[in-house]
Every structure is written in C-alpha cells, then in structure tokens.
Structure 1
Amino acid sequence: MQTVDRALAVLLSFSTRRTEWGVMELAEEFDLDKSAAQRLLSTLTHRGFLYADPITRRYRMGPAMWRIASTWERRGGMALLVEPVLAEVADATGRTASFNLADGSYVRCVAAVDGGNAPMRDHPLVGELYPAHAGATSRAYFAFLSPSQRQSLMYHRPLAKFSDLTSQDAHAIEAEMLLVADVGWAYSEGEYDSNTRAIAAPVFVLGRAVGSVSLGEHKREEYRDIRDYTQPLLRTAEKLGALLSAQAPEGNAR
C-alpha cells in the first residue's frame, strides 16, 4: 500500500506550478533513492499516467490522466461533489446557490441548487458563462487575480453591455475589483441579467482562487436583503475550498 500511496502522491503533485519532474528532483522531493524513483516513474509511464520526454528525459502528465479527468467531468463529478454543500446554504437562505469555475475571461457555472424561494432564473444555470466585467459571480473570482492577469483577460477587447447597469469603464471596473478584494465578497444587481441580484465570494484551493460561489435571486424577491446572507456565503466558500483542497497535497510525501 505504501507504493500505491507514493504513486498517488506523485500524480497529485502535478499542478500549474509543477508541470514536470526529473528523476533526481523527484527522488529528493519524495525521499527516495534514484532507482526507486526511476522504477516508480517508469511504471506510471507504462500505464499512461505519465509521459517521458525522449529529449529532456523529464516526465509530464500522460493521456491516462486526461481520460480519467474527462470521464469524471462528463459524468458530472464536480457537481456531485459540491451539490451537498450548495444545498445546505440554499436551504438555509432560500436563495439559488451556484458554484462557478474560471474559464478564460469568464466563470462557468458547474453546479447550482435552488432554495425554497422562487428560482433565480426560469432556465438551468449550469453551463452559464458570466463575463469578468459584469456581475458579482465573476467579480468575486477576478478580483483575486493580479492586475496584470486581469489586464490580459479582460481589457484587451471591448466590454459588452448586457443591461443599463453594465459598466464598460475599465477604470471603474478595476476600482470595484480592488474593493471586492479588500472586503472579500461582491454584490451586484442587474449588471449581467437585469432581473437578478447576487452576492458572491471567491473559492480558494491551496491559496489560489479557482472560481466563486454565489447566492442569487430574482429582483421580485423582497423578503430580505440578500446581503444579509454574506456570512453563510463566506462559510460556504470556505467549505468548498476545504473540500477541493482535501486531496491536493501542499508538500511532499515525506
């Protein structure tokens, strides 16, 4: 079992910061001798989990990783994972809760649960793309990128207008981003969809923003100011971050 655990630890060590391993650096990182590290990498390569570059002799993620990830995504793996957390806050607040992941200059809704009040929309939210410059759902994520990242993702093209309340002023949008980064959550009303309002918070996995969680409602709902639910929203963001970080080790296997 130790060998299996070690192999899984190696696979889980790949990230946007760590895209490849050499034999010696892997041996040092995981406290292995060189021959054990080589055997482990060779086995994972043979099974398609890694790919060995014939020129650099370094190891990258292989096609088996893609097949597993694709199957998980097609079967709704992310939605099944996060829906119980969303259902908890949706039931507590009566609002529609959604989880959204970064997708270029948008965030994409990957899971949503309606609360006891009327649904926020009369059509499914899953698959909806929210543009970076319009609405709390996307702002809660993009506010936690660096200004240079926002510049490359948002301001290199014309900013579309979705309603009378959509801002197209890059300076005003950037000021709002800085405010959201300072307070830790976002609010919007009618910026993307003129009939809805929402609050949203970033979701962090191992210290890096990966998307947002939001609570939304149709503007006809006047029972209570949606901003009163900021604390349940923030707790939900923490729960989602912890859930998604649970199997993503920060360090090595030592």
Structure 2
Amino acid sequence: MSTGPTERTGPLQTVDRALDVLLSFDEYRTSWGVMELAEEFGLARSTAQRLLASLAGKGFLRADPDTRRYGMGPAMWRMAGLWERSGGLSALAEPLLAELARASGRTSLFCVPDGAHVRCIAAVSGSEGPRRSHPFVDELYPAHAGATSRAYFAFLDPAERRALLAGRPSARFSDLTPFDEREVEELFDTAVEEGYAISQGEYDAASRALAVPVFGGKRPVGSVSLVENKHSDHDDDLLDHLAPLRASADELTGLLSNRRPAPPTRRWRRGHGSRPSPRPTTP
C-alpha cells in the first residue's frame, strides 16, 4: 500500500525525528534520557538510543557519562553563532520594523536582553523622527527607565527579575526617571496587566516610547517599540499604533517559536485580552 503524500518514511522520517528532538530543548527541557525520549516520542528504546547517539556523534548533543543523559552540544552553539553573525535576529526583525516605521511615522526598534539592560539590535527610522545625532543600534536601555526595556523585564519571572536587578544602583537620566525599587516594580506590574509599556522622557528626556514584549517559546526574548520625539506634532497618538505594534511582535514571536503567527487580536500572555486596553491618562 502506498503512503500518502504527507507521510514521512525512511530517511525523511529520521530527519524529522532528529529535528523534533533538537527543537524540544528549551529552558525547562535541558536534557533527555533514552527511555524518557522513547516514551515521549513513541519510539522503541533502540530507536531512541540510535537517534540520540547519532546527534551526539555530530556534536548537536553531548552525552553525560555519569547520568547517561543527553544535553545540547557544541554544534548547537556553532550554528547559533553562524546564524547570528549572518544577520540572525536583526534580519528577521527589520522587515517588520520597516512596515511599522512606514505606517506610524515613528522610529521602530527591536531590543534583546543584555544583563540589566536591553540592547537595540535593529532599528528603522520613521518619517517623523525622532531626529538623533547617534544611531539607535547597540544602544543600551536600563531596566528601570523607559518602555523599551520595561516591556522585556516586566514579563520575566519576578524571582528571576529580582535576582538580576535587586540592589543595583539606578541612574537618573531625567526628572521623570523612576528611581525607587518599589515604584519600578509597580511599573512592571502595570505593564504586565496592560500588555504593553509606555514612557515619556524616563531615559531620553526628549522622547516617548511604546513597547510590547517578544517571546521565544514561553519566555520573553526582547521587545519591539515605537519611539517619537515629544516635541513633534503628530496627527495621531502613539497609542493609536498599539494594535500593529502587537501584531508585529506576535509575528516575530511566531518566527522565533517556529509557529505561524496568531491573529493580532490574540490574548497576550498573563491575561491580556484582545479588547483594546484603556488609554492611560498619564503616559
């Protein structure tokens, strides 16, 4: 009996299984045992053993001689490094940022974590600014100041965030920079409740920013934001662009999670609904 057109047999099935194993690793799944893998994927023990041994032989996994478990190997690091040096995350984000910048007139940014900051790795200027004498790319945004960083740090597990940030000195960048740790935590809570972060002059006294988180699997991996000059006249409000900003972040989340993006009205993580969030009276 012939197989259907979508069925995988022989070498293709083996490749699919190997890729499924590699894609199963995340912050919660860091290793596999042979029997554990066989049960999870419905494989014979001998098949699971050959699959793990083959991946270890090519360096994608590494066998622990004491526990007899398989974790990620150096080939994963090498491939990730090659991907990032060829453009990687910034190349994925730039087309989405370009559309955001074109539609909104604002500058769009994609930032990823860098210690107690987020670092801008891609930026596309909008027609209405802000005008700057130095580039956005490679600029660091501190966790306690501004929407761009808040949209990432707010969605971290609170215990992880406290371990990273508690007790660190907080610089003042303007009169509007939140300084007290309790105040910063309240701003994180508000961002989680509303599903976005908004700021006005906390980091750059001349700028406003609106930002939403980007996820990779189950955890935040960065933020996408729109930035405008506080002193420019706009026909619309920055919050009018929240829906397309969320849609772009969701599409980037889909690309990073190897899944199709959900519609823009999807419910955001931690209880954020598709109904438009109330517009804050003070940004």
TM-score by length of structure 2 reads: 0.83
Match of 2:221 in 1: 210
Residue 134 (str. 1) matches residue 145 (str. 2): yes
- Which of 241, 246, 260 is the matching residue for 1:229? 241
SS in 1 for 2:175: coil
* CA shift for structure 1 position 172: 1.2
Structure scoring higher RCO (CA < 8 A, sep ≥ 6) equals: 1
Task: Report the CA distance between 1:120 and its aligned residue.
Answer: 4.9
Alignment partner of 1:245 is 2:257: yes
Give the Cα–Cα distance (whole angstroms) in 1 for the partners of residues 49 and 253 of structure 2: 34
Which residue, out of 109, 112, 118, partners 1:101?
112
Q: Percent identity?
A: 58
Tell me, what secondary structure is at the counterpart of 2:243?
A: helix
Q: 1:113 aligns with which of 124, 133, 147?
A: 124
In the alignment, the residues of structure 2 paired with residue 124 and residue 34 of structure 1 have an alpha-carbon distance, to the nearest angstrom, of 55
1:39 paired to 2:80: no
**Aligned-partner Cα distance in 1 for 2:52–2:160:** 34
User: What do residues 145-164 of structure 1 show as CA deviations (whole Å, max 9, x unaligned)?
Assistant: 23322221222211122222
Q: Offset of 1:46 from its aligned partner?
A: 1.0
CA distance in 1, matches of 2:51, 2:217: 26
Q: 1:244 to 1:178 in 2, by over 3 A?
A: same
1:171 aligns with 2:193: no
| Equivalent residue, structure 2, for 1:251 | none
Contact map agreement 2:111 2:222 (CA 8 A) in 1: yes
Task: Tell me the number of residue pairs that the alignment of Structure 1 and Structure 2 aligns.
Answer: 248
1:14-71 alpha-carbon deviations (Å, 9 max, x no partner): 1111111111101111111111111111111111111111111111111111111011
2:96 maps to amino acid = V
Determine the C-alpha separation between the residues in 2 that align with 1:169 and 1:200: 22
From 206, 211, 215, give the equivalent of 1:200: 211
Q: Deviations over 1:151-196 (max 9, x none)?
A: 2122221112222221211111111111111111111111111222
Per the TM alignment, residue 3 of structure 1 is displaced from its structure 2 partner at its CA by 0.6
Provide the rounded CA distance (Å) in 2 between the counterparts of 1:161 and 1:181.
24
Q: Please tell me whether the aligned partners of residues 206 and 245 of structure 1 are also in contact (alpha carbons under 8 angstroms).
A: yes
| Letter aligned with residue 129 of structure 2 | A
**Are the counterparts in 2 of residues 99 and 109 from structure 1 also a CA contact under 8 Å?**
yes
Deviations 1:190-219 (A, max 9, x none): 111122211001112334222111000223
User: What residue is the counterpart of 2:171 in the other structure?
Assistant: 160
Matched residue, 2:273: none
Q: Which segments of 5 or more consecutive residues in structure 2 lack a partner in the other structure?
A: 1-11, 261-283
Equivalent residue number for residue 278 of structure 2? none
Q: 2:243 is matched by which residue type in structure 1?
A: Q
CA drift at 1:89: 1.1
Q: Which of 182, 204, 219 is the aligned partner of 2:193?
A: 182
Q: Deviation of residue 118 (structure 1)? A: 2.9
**2:136 corresponds to which letter in structure 1?**
L
- Contact 2:31–2:71 at 8 Å: present in 1 too? yes
- Which ranges of 4 or more aligned residues in structure 1 deviate by more than 6 Å? none
**Are residues 1:124 and 2:135 paired?**
yes
Give the aligned partner of residue 252 of structure 1. Answer: none
Q: Deviations over 1:113-166 (max 9, x none)?
A: 112223453322222221110000011111122332222122221112222221
TM-score of the two chains, using structure 1 as the length reference? 0.92
